[in-house]
Amino acid sequence: MTQPLLDIDDLYKSYGSEDVLEGIGLEMDRGDVTVLIGPSGSGKSTLLRCVNQLTDIDSGTVALDGTDVTRPEADVNELRKQVGMVFQDFNLFAHLTALGNVTLGPRKVLGMDADEARERGREHLEQVGLLDQADSYPAELSGGQKQRVGIAQALAMDPELLLFDEPTSALDPELVGEVVDVMRDLADRGITMLVVSHEMGFARSAASDIVFLDDGEIVEHGPPEQLFEAPEADRTREFLGRLETEHEGTP
Amino acid sequence: MTSTLLQTADWLFVADNLGLLLRGTAVTVALTAASILLGFVVGFPAGALEVYGSGLPKRAVERAGVVLRGTPLLVIIMMLYFVVSVSDSAFATATVALGLRSAAYQTQIFRGALQSVDEGQLEAARAVAMSRFEAIRHVVVPQALRRSVPGFQNEFTIVLKDTSIAIVIGIGELLTTGQNLYEGGRSTAALEIFLAVSLIYFVLTFTTNRSLDRLSDRYAVPEGTA
């Protein structure tokens, strides 16, 4: 019963001689919203990509719902049906409309018939406030709209877990809010989310856990009030101090 | 030979022989269509192999491409007919020669088009649980095909006019049919015949390129960053 949805254990990853992740252990329960913070190059995005196996791990395990998804015979596509991902650069399919982007996965991977996929796709676009843009192509959308389509695309697969890789980093500042609002709404609806982001507003108000990663290690892990108000490690304090001066005025 | 452009008798000669020229045109069109089709059927997978393949198949395709692109068409066609004898039919042999050479060029057209689709989209497709093949097929290929139209228009035009080389193995297509009309002093209408033949080539090129433009417009998607 207490089996975590995501269980990362002793995960190592290096690129050549550069160690990126050095023994990561992390658990998430259903409904958790875990935000990964840390300096650039600390391994946050790599950790995220190891969860859905876009990046191969060197050693350790990633288990989803009790199943080790990193064992050699595991079907990576079965895993990816359960784990959606939202990318920093959106990566929308340029030749498809917003609705086409949202329905491609369900149609081609889940074998859903076109009508049902469209109907459900519209619901997902409505969820991110973009039903009126269903027939627009990515090039006709703003960055914030693209990212919301990206979120709808991930939701359309009905995943157990959603990964967000710096979802607002490529956005103009005035467009960040609309994406954060959608993410907050998902968090409220109990969707399990693992988020790499420095959006402190989101982290404070929506996260159940904050994980501070530095140099490929988890330095500190705790609820937002503890990690932000009373960080234990010097490295955490230092990082948060730097972040505050950089993001002065961010809600 | 003092033919000028406005020699009515010569133009009448062309008009009288229009049927022959059109028969030559039919050969040219058939040879072009068959060669382009063969070039596509071979060249498209070869282009994909150059981008996504590895090991021996990829190397084999690359080397075959270098050889085919580096050999004069005249040599390819004569080798296939007189040395290798791929077929007793000159038409089939010419199709294979033009088709393989076209395949080598089309490979490069499609390679470039496939590579122009940014990697992130392939990754996003993988992230929604598509296999690599599905991701390439449903996400990369539709965009690459759109981007290959301009290169394909060039290739079509080149093949169309290169069909005239098929005369070396005895195929009387459009240009050869035209030449035969005045050869041996049978007529003074050489210039008029060449102009008529050129006009037919132009009409073929123009209509085909226009059709491809239409096709391209019909499936166009707004450009920009996704």
What pLDDT, in 10s, does the model give residues B19-51?
999 999 999 999 999 999 999 999 999 999 999
- pLDDT for res B10: 87
Binary contact (B123, A54; C-beta < 8 A): yes
**Position A182 pLDDT exceeds 60:** yes
- Position B3 scores a pLDDT of 47
Report the relative pairing of strands A161-165 and A83-86 from DSSP bridges.
Answer: parallel
- The model's confidence at residue B189, banded by pLDDT at 50, 70 and 90, is confident
The CB density around residue B128, as the number of other CB atoms within 10 Å, is: 27
Which residue in B90, B81, B78, B82 sits closest to B31, CA to CA?
A: B90
pLDDT for residue B79 is more than 70? yes
Return the number of CB contacts < 8 Å for A and B. 82
Category of B129 on φ-ψ map: left (φ > 0), alpha (ψ -120 to 50) or beta: left
CB distance A149 to A161 below 8 Å: no
In A, minimum Cα distance to B147 occurs at A95
Task: Determine whether B19 is exposed, middle or buried from the number of CB atoms within 10 Å of its CB (0-12, 13-18, 19+).
Answer: exposed
Q: What mean pLDDT value characterizes chain A?
A: 94
Indicate the Cα dihedral angle B124, B128, B133, B134, nearest 10°. Answer: -110
Provide the residue type at B210 as one letter. R
CA–CA separation, A65 and A42 (whole Å)? 27
User: What is A109-175 written as a DSSP string?
Assistant: TS---HHHHHHHHHHHHHHTT-GGGTT--GGGS-HHHHHHHHHHHHHTT--SEEEEESTTTTS-HHH
**Looking at chain A, which residue has its C-alpha nearest residue B144?**
A95
Residues B32-68 as b/e (b if ≥16 CB within 10 A, e otherwise) read bebbbebbbebbbebbbbbbebeeeeeeebbebbeeb
Residue position matching structure tokens 């491809």: B212
Mutate to test the interface with A, among B118, B119, B128, B147 (most CBs of A within 10 A): B128
pLDDT band at A1 (very low <50, low <70, confident <90, very high): low
Q: Is the pLDDT of residue B146 over 60?
A: yes
Please give the residue that has the higher pLDDT: either A251 or B174: B174
Cβ neighbourhood burial of B162 (10 Å; 0-12, 13-18, 19+): buried
Q: Please check whether residue B146 is in contact with residue B220, taking contact to mean a CB–CB distance below 8 angstroms.
A: yes
The answer to whether the pTM exceeds 0.80 is yes
ipTM reported for the complex, 2 dp: 0.92
Concatenating the DSSP letter of every residue in A58-118 gives: SEEEEEETTEES-STTS-HHHHHHHEEEE-TT----TTS-HHHHHHHHHHHTS---HHHHH
**Which of B102, B91, B25, B37 shows the shortest CA–CA distance to B69?**
B102
For residue B12, give every residue at least 6 positions away whose Cβ sits within 8 Å of its Cβ, in sequence order, or none.
none
Q: Looking at chain B from residue 101 to 130, which residues have their Cβ under 8 Å from any Cβ of chain A?
A: 117-118, 120-121, 123-130
The pLDDT of A145-152, averaged and rounded, is 98
CA gap B211, B47 in Å, rounded: 24
pLDDT attached to residue A233: 94
Mean pLDDT of A9-34: 95
Q: What torsion, rounded to 10 degrees, do the Cα atoms B103, B107, B108, B109 define?
A: 90
CA B17 centroid distance within chain: 27
Residue A8 host element (H or E)? strand A6-15
User: What does the pLDDT read at residue A251?
Assistant: 46
User: Which stretch of DSSP H or E encloses residue B200?
Assistant: helix B190-218
Please list the residues that pair with A14 across neighbouring strands.
A19
Average pLDDT for chain B: 92
Q: How confident is the model at residue A244 (pLDDT cuts 50, 70, 90)?
A: confident
Q: Tell me the average pLDDT across A111-120.
A: 96
Give the mean pLDDT of A12-30: 95
Residue with tokens 């932000």: A228
Is B216 in contact with B151 (CB distance < 8 Å)?
no
Using the structure block, give the residue that is written with the tokens 């676009």.
A125
Residue of chain B whose Cα is closest to the Cα of A53: B127
Contact, A67 vs A80, CB < 8 A? no
pLDDT for B188 equals 83
Written as six digits, the tokens of A13 are 């990853």
Note whether A153 contacts B128, CB cutoff 8 Å. yes
User: What angle do the packed helices B190-218 and B8-16 form, to 10 degrees?
Assistant: 60
Contact A91 B124 (CB under 8 A): yes
Residue of B118, B128, B222 with shortest CB distance to A157: B128
Instruction: Supply the pLDDT for residue B6.
Output: 64
Contacts for B46 with CB less than 8 Å, ≥ 6 apart: B61, B64, B65, B103, B106, B107, B110
Counting Cα atoms < 13 Å in the Cβ hemisphere of A37 gives: 31
User: Residue B150 is inside which H or E element, if any?
Assistant: helix B149-162
* Candidate from A77, A95, A140 with C-beta closest to B142: A95
Q: How many CB atoms lie within 10 A of CB A9?
A: 15
Helix (H, G, I), strand (E, B) or coil at B3: coil
Q: What is the distance between the alpha carbons of residues A7 and A26, in angstroms, rounded to a whole number? A: 6
Q: Nearest 5 degrees, angle CA A33-CA A39-CA A40?
A: 100
